[in-house]
Amino acid sequence: MNLSRPTAEHSLQDRIEWLVTEVGGPTNAARVAEVSRQTIDRWRSGDARLPFLEAYRLARRAGVSLDWLATGFDVVPDPSDKKQSESQQFAVVHRYEPGQGGELVEIVDSHDTLIAFREGWLRNLSMQPQNAALLLVSGDVMAPTIRDRDLILIDRAIKAIAGDGIYALLRGGALTIRRAQVMIDGSVMLIADNDRYLPERIAVDDLGQLRVVGRVRLGIGFP
């Protein structure tokens, strides 16, 4: 049975339910999203949040935008509006992961390594589209701001902690996300938003041990 596509007047749960139905039901949705059938049921009931990456897989299969899934609205560009048309140009942003040597390596062996974002929207986040990169977060150290299996959008042009903010860092080849606070003596406090983790002070002489991958501009997930 084909259901009418929910609009902004409907809830996120309504849109998730429609999405699951549109891709062929819960069992097929689990295969598309690469999760268990039980996880699909928890998304449908609202007992668990829908992570961005899995939402992207389902939306792409159903032929809808993430704008629609998040808000119920589809943005339709007006070709006669030059300013709007420019803002609707898209940039392809690649996913990366830490390599064995501590460098970021583009993921190329998966079908969901490329996600398109509007260039104007990226610039509104104070970043140039060519410097944007996506990383998948593992763990709850920055919860609830950034949660497990959220994607983070980072600005790779930022290679040093130059002010307070959230940064993606490599330490010993391991990726970590922390809120950084620059102290008056030049040292840096690395702070986890999850209060289960203690803050850590990095002395000026030890800042060279931190490799800044980029500044986090956005953590992406569906509440």
Whole-number pLDDT of residue 218:
86
Q: Say what the pLDDT of residue 84 is.
A: 47
Question: What pairs with residue 181 in β-bridges?
Answer: 189
Three-class secondary structure of residue 134 per DSSP: strand
Whether the pTM exceeds 0.85: the reply is: no
Q: Give the tokens for residue 17.
A: 């339910």
pLDDT band for position 185 (50/70/90)? very high
- CA 188, CA 138: separation in Å to the nearest integer? 23
- Listed residue (168, 183, 150) closest to 215, CA to CA: 168
C-beta of residue 178 within 8 angstroms of C-beta of residue 197: no
pLDDT in tens, 194-208: 999 999 999 999 988
**CATH for the stretch 12-71:** 1.10.260.40
Domain boundaries, the chain: 12-71, 89-222
Q: Is pLDDT of 1 > 50?
A: no
Residues 15 and 68: beta-carbon distance below 8 Å? yes
Query: Per-residue pLDDT tens for 104-132?
Result: 888 886 666 778 888 888 898 889 999 99
CATH architecture, range 89-222:
Ribbon (2.10)
